[in-house]
């Protein structure tokens, strides 16, 4: 299913109504070449299902992992992703940009 | 985000009203400011600026870092004419997240078989805009594609009056010159009439209906992304 910015927040609401635990990730800052603009959303449920995007697919895996932790812990987090570095364990953006992503639980 | 805030935000979006979610990124504290409340909000000026540009972003206020998620109504595309170009445009518009309505009083053109899954209204534009089809507003794009002034003109007049962010009309330069004369006669100013994109579409040498649809949608996206939105009323 193709998801657009329009229906992601509606989906978050309906997921919650269905009793699923949901986290919302939002791109809050970008530097350089970033694939998704500030304000882009990704929603994740506790089973790892997700809708939307915060990058071109480069860091979604890491965001989903962190989002599941946020669902468990409750406190929001700010994640930062930069240029991919083969020596770094974290996911990176191969486009050379940097992004910051705010992850919060939908209570 | 609190579920009640999310519900409230989605309700504003469904009603095509702008709203800004203010989030303190240090602790996640949030509040929703609706379009009508911005003027009296303590952060009014900065919120107004973000609303006008329709851009989300971080702001520093009293040593706190706040993220403003700016929600403007989903963009609608109203196409006058259930023609071949509109048929090609329908799936492309869906992919671009443009809510499409196709209006054409000619029932031979406006058939569900030709437009599966599309909001199709087989009525005169001036009879349905503001009733069966929601009234045009500044978050709407209008493309008049029938070549028939009886059908296109009332819709173009409504689009200019409503301040649609994009108004395009199909037709040759000669056809458009006649259209300009009619709209001038009807009392529209040269500035208003000058907002009509004609010939319609980006100049990509489009020939087939799908190529023309692509050119028009490219022009709609360019208008949406490049031109600052008008100030909130």
Q: pLDDT tens digit string along B145-164?
A: 999 999 999 999 999 999 99
Tell me the C-alpha to C-alpha distance, in Å, between residue B143 and each of B77, B147, B168, B189, B224: 8, 11, 5, 20, 14
| Average pLDDT value for chain A | 85
Average pLDDT over residues A23-48: 91
Average pLDDT over residues B126-142: 93
Least trusted range by pLDDT, from B5-14, B96-105, B221-230: B221-230
B228 confidence band (pLDDT: 50, 70, 90)? very low
Indicate yes or no: CB of B3 within 8 angstroms of CB of A102. Answer: no
Residue A56: name the closest of A88, A23, A24, A97 by CA. Answer: A97
Name every chain B residue with its beta carbon within 8 A of the beta carbon of A24: 1
Average pLDDT score over residue span B151-179: 96
For range B105-112, the mean pLDDT: 96
User: Residue B232's pLDDT is what?
Assistant: 42
Distance (Å) of CA B228 to CA A58, A78, B49, B65, B223: 30, 30, 11, 25, 9
| Shortest Cα distance, chain B CAs vs residue A91, angstroms | 22
- Portion 3-42 of A in contact with B at CB < 8 A: 4-6, 9-10, 12-13, 16, 24, 26, 28-29, 38-39
pLDDT of residue B233: 38
Phi, psi of B94 (to 5 degrees): -60, -45
B166 Cβ contact partners less than 8 Å away, ≥ 6 residues apart: B140, B141, B142, B143, B197, B219, B220, B223, B224
pLDDT of residue B17: 87
Q: Is the pLDDT of residue A26 over 80?
A: yes
Q: Give the pLDDT band of residue B14 (cuts 50, 70, 90).
A: confident
Helix (H, G, I), strand (E, B) or coil at B188: coil
User: CB distance from B53 to chain A under 8 Å?
Assistant: no
Q: How far apart are CA B31 and CA B20, in angstroms?
A: 9
Kindly tell me if the per-residue pLDDT of A35 is higher than 90.
no
Nearest CA in chain A to B66: A28
Residue B213 has pLDDT above 70, yes or no: yes
What is the maximum span of chain A, computed from C-alpha positions, in angstroms? 42
Q: Is 90 exceeded by the pLDDT of residue B204?
A: yes
β-pair type (B30-34, B57-61): unpaired
Domain locations in chain B? 3-71, 76-226
Q: What is the DSSP letter of B81?
A: -
What is d(CA B95, CA B193) in angstroms, rounded to the nearest whole number? 30
Q: Which residue has the tokens 């530097």?
A: A31
Domain B76-226 CATH superfamily: NAD(P)-binding Rossmann-like Domain (3.40.50.720)
């Amino acid at each position: 299913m193709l998801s657009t910015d329009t229906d992601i927040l509606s989906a978050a609401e309906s997921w919650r109504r269905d009793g699923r635990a949901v986290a919302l990730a939002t791109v809050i800052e970008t530097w350089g070449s970033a694939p998704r603009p500030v304000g882009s959303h990704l929603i994740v449920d506790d089973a790892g299902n997700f809708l939307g995007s915060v990058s071109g697919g480069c860091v979604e895996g890491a965001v989903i992992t962190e989002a599941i932790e946020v669902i468990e812990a409750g406190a929001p987090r700010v994640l930062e992703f930069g240029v991919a570095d083969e020596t770094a364990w974290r996911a990176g953006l191969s486009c050379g940009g940097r992004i910051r992503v705010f992850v919060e639980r939908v209570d | 985000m609190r579920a009640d805030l999310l519900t409230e935000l989605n309700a504003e979006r469904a009603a095509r009203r702008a709203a800004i979610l203010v989030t303190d990124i240090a602790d996640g504290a949030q509040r929703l400011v609706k379009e009508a409340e911005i003027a009296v909000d303590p952060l009014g000026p900065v919120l107004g600026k973000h609303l006008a540009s329709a851009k989300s972003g971080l702001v520093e206020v009293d040593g706190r870092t706040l993220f403003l998620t700016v929600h403007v109504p989903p963009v609608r595309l109203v196409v006058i004419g259930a023609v071949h170009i509109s048929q090609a445009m329908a799936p492309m518009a869906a992919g671009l997240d443009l809510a499409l309505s196709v209006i054409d009083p000619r029932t031979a053109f406006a058939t569900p078989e030709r437009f599966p899954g599309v909001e199709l209204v087989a009525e005169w534009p001036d009879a349905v805009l503001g009733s069966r089809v929601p009234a045009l507003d500044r978050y709407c794009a209008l493309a008049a594609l029938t070549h028939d002034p009886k059908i296109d003109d009332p819709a173009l007049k409504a689009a200019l009056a409503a301040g649609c962010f994009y108004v395009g009309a199909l037709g040759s330069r000669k056809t458009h010159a006649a259209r300009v004369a009619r709209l001038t006669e009807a009392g529209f100013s040269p500035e208003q009439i000058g907002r009509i994109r004609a010939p319609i579409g980006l100049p990509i040498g489009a020939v087939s209906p799908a190529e023309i649809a692509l050119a028009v949608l490219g022009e709609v996206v360019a208008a949406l992304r490049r031109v600052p939105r008008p100030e909130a009323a």
